[in-house]
Amino acid sequence: MSFRADVAPILLDNCLACHGPKKAEGGYRVDTFEELGNAGDSGEAPLPGDKDDGGELLRRLTSTDSTERMPADSEPLPAAQIDVVRRWIVAGAAFDGEQSGDPLFLIIPPRRYPEPPASYALPVPITAMAFSPDGKQLLVGGYHEISIWNVEDGALIRRIKDLPQRIFALAFLHEGRRLAVAGGEPGRSGEVRLVDFETGIVQAVLARSADVALDLAVRPQNDQLAVAAADGLIRIVDPEASATVHTIASHADWVTAVAWSDDGTLLASASRDKSAKLYGGDTGDLLANYQGHAAAVRGVAFTPDGKQALSTGADGKLHRWNVEGAAKVAEVGVGGDSFHITRGNGFLLIPCADALVRQIDLTSNAVSRTLAGHQDWTLSAALNNDGTLFASASRDGEVRLWNAADGALVRAWTAKP
């Protein structure tokens, strides 16, 4: 019986909400193996010193007294799960991970995700898209998968599976053969998987978090990944070593977006804590903190020269501000709640909750084009590598392709296998 493979998932699913680092009912925590063995306010040892004594943990799981039984205010654990915990304790309650102080989500082995539906009864909101490096295919985030569509006719080509429940960001590494996929299960787990694009095989799990991974960005020159997550952390990951280089804990709430400057020396982040921040690319040190939105920030980017940052979010405005001193230079109204920024040659694409995508000219700091036609929130946008074609997608699963030269609609379809 394995703690990391058998017991930890039970604790994560059923106990962590009331006995974690932020909320520890009865002074007891189960978020790490070390904490699991520490007594709470009762002073009773959760795990037995003698395997013939089940300990307080097992007693609480099996108690017939509703005021003592755990989980509180819910049905008892299924008998099969209680039996797993019991057999692990009887076998010696051993820890079989690497570091007993690691969070549960890190020690649980990477899972094989369930197959997505053969066909969707309803479309899913599209929160991530990317063009293939040759521009001939459009990748669309789905449920435990990415669906890949032919740009020429909107036909489904294939599906890449074994991916997180919800997909929030897609990015190719510079060589164009490997794809980083960020996502997770809200409130439970997040991760970034590295996929061989040609075969669809998952090669590695590069980063894991206690809540969903909401964005990622590939660093120019060296392929390091910046990963934004709803656990409030930014992780800088080396995909070759599958190792975390830096963990940045600067935000007080979800980190919703990240972006590198063109030379890779600066990293920007956006957060639900109403701030956008800048860091040194090599060190992760905080360099600037922009507080001008007074609302959740959901998108960030840099100007090509790296001297200014751009951010947008729930205040319905694009903010342009200096890297040096974080002083606002300009703002542009974008009509409502807005999401991740896609930067093109001299312009930005910003999807908005009013079902429109706005194109912002960086020279005039003004809306130069409004792409209309979606019937629900637009949540994501993408631009092909040669800048000739845009894609936008909405909460109702619709994808629209636009000609970049004149903003004309090329085609539209519902990305529902």
DSSP per position, 360-389: EETTTTEEEEEE---SS-EEEEEE-TTSSE
Task: Domain 129-414: give its CATH architecture.
Answer: 7 Propeller (2.130)
Residues 288/302, Cβ–Cβ less than 8 Å = no
CA gap 361, 363 in Å, rounded: 6
Name every residue whose Cβ is closer than 8 Å to that of residue 236 and which is 6 or more positions away in sequence: 224, 225, 226, 227, 244, 245, 246, 247, 248, 267, 284
Q: What is the pLDDT along the chain (417 residues), one digit of tens a residue?
A: 899 889 988 998 888 888 988 788 889 999 899 999 999 898 988 998 765 567 899 989 998 888 888 888 788 899 999 999 999 998 889 999 888 998 887 788 888 899 999 999 999 999 999 999 999 999 999 999 999 999 999 999 999 999 999 999 999 999 999 999 999 999 889 999 999 999 999 999 999 998 999 999 999 989 999 999 999 999 999 999 888 999 999 999 999 999 999 999 999 999 999 999 999 999 999 999 999 999 999 999 999 999 999 999 999 999 999 999 999 999 999 988 999 999 999 999 999 999 999 999 999 999 999 999 999 999 999 999 999 999 999 999 999 999 999 999 999 999 999
Structure tokens at 353: 């909750």
Residues 6+ apart with CB under 8 A from 305: 262
Residue found by looking up tokens 């894609």 in the block: 391
**CB atoms near residue 21 (< 10 Å):** 12
Closest to 382 in 3D by CA, of 337, 330, 326, 344: 344
pTM, entire model: 0.85
**Residues 10 and 58: beta-carbon distance below 8 Å:** no
Amino acid at 378: T
* Contact call for residues 248 and 256 (beta carbons, < 8 A): no
Within 10 Å of residue 83's Cβ, how many Cβ atoms?
Answer: 12
Contacts of 323 (CB under 8 A, 6+ apart): 266, 278, 287, 288, 302, 306, 307, 308, 309
- The residues, ordered by sequence, that sit 6+ positions from 253 with a Cβ below 8 Å of its Cβ are 232, 271, 272, 273
Q: Which amino acid is at 337?
A: D
The distance from CA 241 to its chain's CA centroid, rounded to whole angstroms, is 20
Residue 40 half-sphere exposure toward CB, CA atoms < 13 A: 19
Residues paired with 268 in a beta bridge: 259, 278
DSSP 251: -
What does the angle CA 109 – CA 2 – CA 233 come to, to the nearest 5 degrees?
A: 35
Domain spans in the chain, listed from the N-terminal domain onward: 3-107, 129-414
